[in-house]
Structure 1
Amino acid sequence: MFTCIIVTYGFTDQEVETLLKFRDSLFNTTALNNWNKSSLCKGNGSNWTGVICVNDDFYGLQLENMGLKGIIDIGTLSELSSLRTVSFMNNHFEGPIPEIKKLGGALRGLFLSNNQFNGEIPDDAFDGMKSLTKVYLANNTFTGKLPTSLARLPKLLELWLENNQFEGQLPDFRSTALRDVNVANNKFEGPIPASLSNMSASFFSGNNLCDKPLDPCKSSKKKRSIPKIAIILVIVGVAALAAIVLASFLFRGRRRPKTSQMGKSSAAKIHKNDVQYKKAGSAPLPDHRENYNKKSENGKLYFVRNGRERFDLQDLLRASAEVLESGSFGSSYKALLLSGPAVVVKRFRQMSNVGKEEFHEHMRRLGSLTHPNLLPLVAFYYKKEEKLLITDFIENGSLASHLHSKPSPDQPALDWPTRLKIIKGVAKGLAYLHKELSALTLPHGHLKSSNVLLDDTFEPLLADYALAPVVNKDHAQQIMVAYKSPEFTQRDRTTKKTDVWSLGILILELLTGKFPANYLKQGKGANADLATWVNSVVREEWTGEVFDKEMKGTKNGEGEMLKLLKIGMCCCEWNVETRWDMWEAFEKIEELKERDADEEYSSYGSEGDVYSSRAVTEDDFSFSVTG
C-alpha cells in the first residue's frame, strides 16, 4: 500500500515520557496503542492518535470517542507546560470533575462533555485559568450551583452545560466576549442575566428561567383579593354570554349547507395538478399535505438566515414542484414559489431520534455559517417523524453530474483550470467547517461529488454538511461517506481526519473521472476502490492512464496535476495517524497553480500534453510534507 514519506521533527523526551505515563493511568486504551517512543510531532500533525501539534510543537490532546475509562491524571498532565487544549468528550469517565485548575492559566480549551461525571463542582474549580475560552461540560450529571470561578473567567467565549442537573440562579459572567452559553435542561431558576439576553432562547429551555430571551418574569407582588360576590357575578355573566353565542351558532348552522366531500377532493386534485413530476410515481410534499397543514407549531417554517424573503409552509405546498432525486437521506424537490427564487426542499425521515430543542439549536448553528463555498441553509421544518431542510436551488447541478453524465453539446467537459478551481473551493469550504464546527468529530461527514454543487461560474458549494449529529446513528453508518472510511471499517471510529479521507477520494475522482463505486454500497465494505486502483497503476509505471481523458486544458499543467494527485493520495492514506490533517491538505492545495513553473518539469515534451509525457513512477510519490 502506498504511503507518504514524512519528514520527522524533534520532540522532547520529557513530553513523550509524560504522555506515556498519562496513558498508563487510563483503562481501555486500545485506541492509543500507537503511543510509543517514536516521533511525536510533524509540523501540524502527529504520529500519535489524539495528539495535537502546532508548528512541530506539542499543543494538546483530543482523546474523543475512544471508550476510555479510569481517573484522569491531572497531576501528570500538569507536567506538560505547552498543553493548551484537552478533550475527553464521548468516553466513559465518571465521578467528580478532575482538579482542572492544576492545568494552569495557559489552558485555552476544556472539553469533558458526554461522559458520566457527577456531583457538585467546587466553587474554586476554575481559579487562575485566565486563558480559558471554551468549556464543554454538557451531557453529564453535574449538580449544585455553578462555581463562582467559572463565571469569573475573563476570556470565556463558549460554555456548554446542557443536560446536567445544575441548579440555582445564573450568575453574571465577567467575560464580555461570550457568544454561546447553553444551559438547557438543568434546574436553573429565576431571571436570566442581561449579559446573556442576546443568546438563543433554546439555550435556556428545560429550566425555570425568565426574562430575555424568554418571557418576562412575573411580578412577585400579591394581588388584592377579589370579593366572592364579584367572582360570582363574573361567572354568571360569562355563562350568559356563552349561551347567546351558542344559540347564534346553532341558528346559523341550520341555514348553511354542508361542505361536500366532492369539494374537498376537487381542491386536492387542483393542488396535485399544479405539481410537475420528473419521475412517475414519485410523491412530493403535496401528497403529504395533511402532515404539514396543522395549525400548530408543527406547521411552521423556521428561517435561520437574515435578509431572505420569507414564505410559509403553505406557500411551499401551493408551489409547483418537481422531484430532483431520491437520495440516501430522502427525496429532494425543486419548488417554484410565486415570488422569489426557486428553492430545494429535502425530506428527512431518519432523524427521529433527535429531540426538538437539540434539532432546532443545531439548525440555527448551521444557519449562522457563512462562506462562499457553502450552500447556505435557508429554513427548516421540524416534526418528530419528518424534517424538511430548505436551501437555494443551484441551476448548474452537482460535480458528480458534470463528471459522470454525458455532457450536452453546449456544455463541454470540465477542463483542468476549472477542476483546480473546484477543488480549491472545496478545500476552503471544508477548512471553514473544521474551524467553525471544531466541537464536531465530523464537521462535514458526507463529502462526495454529488454533494458539491456548482454555481454558474463553477464555484463549488458544499451541501449536506454537519448532519451526522442529527441523523439516526444506524442510518448514518449505513449511508454516510464518513462511515466508509478505513478507520470506521477497521476500528469502528471516526476522527477529524475522516473528512480528509473523503477529500482525498474526491480529489482522485476529480482527476481520474472514475466514480468511487464503494459509495453505492450500504454499510461496511471495500472502502478505497479508487485509491487502490491509483496505487496499483503507480506501481506499474503508468503514463497518462490515471487522468481523465475528458479533461482538457492540461497543456503546461501536468506537473500541477501530478502534485494534486499526490495530495489526494496523502489525504486518503489508510493509516489515520500518518494521514494529513485538514490544514496540511488545505495549505498544499492552496499552493497549486494552473500552469507549471517555468523551472519545473522541464523534462516534459514541448507539447506539454500529459498523455504523451514521460512515464510517472512510484518514486514521484516520495515527497515530504514540507514540500
Structure 2
Amino acid sequence: MAHERKHYCFIFFFLFLLSIVFAPLSRADNDTQILLRFKNSLSDAGALQNWDESINICSWTGLLCKDDKLHGLKLENMGLSGTIDIDILSELSILNSFSVINNNFEGPMPEFKKLERLRGLFLSNNKFSGQIHDDAFVGMRRLKRVFLAENEFSGHIPSSLAQLPRLLDVDLHGNRFDGTIPEFENSDFRVFDLSNNQLEGSIPKSLSNVDPSAFAGNKGLCGKPLSNPCSNNEQPTPQNDNKTNKHRTLIIIIIIVVIVVILVLILALFIIIKRRRKAKNPNQLMATSMEARASIEPSISIETKSIDSVEDGGGGHGGGGGGGEDFNFVREDREVFDLQYLLRASAEVLGSGSFGSTYKAMIHSGQVVVVKRFKNMNKLGKQEFFEHMRRLGRLTHPNVLPLVAFYYGKEEKLLVYDFVQNGSLASHLHGKRSLALDWPTRLKIIKGVARGLAYLYKEFPDQKLPHGHLKSSNVLLDHAYKPLLTEYQLVPAINKSHAQQFMAAFKSPEASQHDSPGDKTDVWCLGILILELLTGRFPADYVRHGKGASEELETWVKSIVSGEVIDKDMVGGSNGQGEMLKMLRVGMGCCEWNEGSRLEWKEALAMIEEVKEKDNMEDESSGFSEWDLSFYSETL
C-alpha cells in the first residue's frame, strides 16, 4: 500500500509539472486563435496580413507585447472598419490597452465594460455616434486613459466615466456631448479636454483649476476657470436639465433663426467695415468677424490642439491688398494680403491661451495661415516693436518657425505664421496620438530642438532668453516630424508682469528665487523638454500660473531621478536603451537646480549630437557613473 501511494504521488507530481510547463503555451495558442477570430470579424483588414499562426503573435502588426506576452492592441491608422467584437476580445488572457485611433469604425460605442482589466481606451478619429449609456464604464476601475475625441457621440457625458477612481487622461473634444458636466471623482488630470461640444451649465468646482482651453467651444458653459460667471438660473439642477430636454426642439428652431440673423448682421458688418475702416481698430474687427463666423459656419478640420494652448501654425499667402496699411510682411517670399482680405477668408477660432486668441484662416488659393492675437504686448514702443519683428523675419533655420507678417495696434498685436501640418509635440506625447513617437523619432526631435535653440543663442547673444517660452506645446512637428520652435523672442515685447506669470522661462529656479532668469534658463527649459520626451510624463506645473510652479517642477525632476521608468511606448523592441540613458544624463545636466552647475548651451548641444539611435555594443558598458548604472538597471 505504501508503495502504491508513493507511485500515485509521483504521477500527480509529474502531471502538476506538465501543467505548469504547458499552460503558458496553451494560453499563447489560445490567444492566437482568438485574435484570428477577431481579425475575421473586421472589415478592410488588409493591414493585418501578417497575422499568421505560423509566427509568434508578438511579431504581428499592431500587437503590444511585454516579456513575449500580449498586453495590448494598437491598431491605429489602418483603415479598419466593421464591428469590434468585445465578446471575442474578452477571451484574451490579458488586454491592458486597446487603440483604434484614426480608422473608420462607426455606430454606437461597443460594450467595453466587459473588458474590466482595460487601462487605456483610444477610439479618437473614427465615426462612432449616438449616446453612450450612463453605465458604459461601470466596473472598469483600472481604466486610466480614455480618448474618444473627434467622433460623433451625443447625449450626456456618462456618470460612470466621471466615477472612475484612477482616471488620469480624458479627451472628449470634437463630439456633440450636451447637458451639464458631471462631478469627476479625480480632479488631478494629465490630459483633460471637453472642448468643441455642446455642454452647458456651471463647471464643477473640482475642475475650476483646469486650463480654460479644455472647455472652449461650449457656449453654454459658465463659471471658473472661464471668465463668464454663472447666474442663478444657470446652476446645474435636475429641474433645469429636464426643462432643457423638453424644450430642445424649440431651442433648435430658435438657434436656426438666430443663425440667419447673425449672417445678415455679418454682411452688414462687412459693409460698415469698408465705410468706416479708419474709425475702427482693424485688430478688433478681425477678432469680432472671425469669432462670429466660426460660431456659425462649418469648422475647418483641426489637426490637433495642445494641452494648455493651440499651437498649430498656418502657412499661406493671399491675393488682395499690398499689406502695407494693415499687415507688415517681414518675408519677401510670401504674397501679401490685407486685413479685409483675411476677414473674407474661411476662418476658425482655434482657442485662447494666456497671451490671447488664435485663429486659423484659409485663403482662397488653398493656403492656410494662423493669426495669433496678442494682448499684454506693450513693452516696446512702436518703432522698437517694428525693428524687433523685422529682426525675427530675417531668421532662417530649419528648426525655427518663421514669422510671416505682423500688425501693430495700440492695445493688441497680430502675428502671422506658416502652417505646420502635424501639430504640437505636446499633443503627440499626451494627446490623441500619444502612442506614435518611437525612440528614433524622439531623438530626431530633441536634436532639432537643440539646434534651433543654439541658433537663437547665436542670433541673440545680447539677450539672456533667446527663446523664453520653450516647452512641448511650443514645438511644432511638420509632416516628417521635424521640430519647429515657435513663440520665441516674445520676452522683449510681452509686459513683464504677464511674462513672469505665464512664460516657461520664469518658472525656472533662478527666476522663481531671484525674480530674474539667467543665461542658462533656456537650457533648463530644454532639460525639462528632454525629460518629458524620454519619460512620456507631462510636467503639469508648466500650466500653473504664478508662484509655486518652480518648486513643483523641482519635485517632478526629482521623481525622475529617483527611478521614473523611461517611456515604455518609446522603448519597444529597440536596442538603444544605452543611448536613451545618455540622453537622460544630458537632460539632468540641463536641469541642474544650481545655475552654475548647469550645462552651457554649447556643451548640451555637443552631448546631444553624440547620442545615436542604437547602442554601440563595444562601449555600451563604459562611461557611466555608478548612479547611471543603478538607474539603468532599475528602469530599463
Q: What TM-score comes out, normalization by structure 2 length?
A: 0.49
Answer 1 or 2: higher relative contact order, Cα 8 Å, separation at least 6: 1
Richer in helix (by share): 2
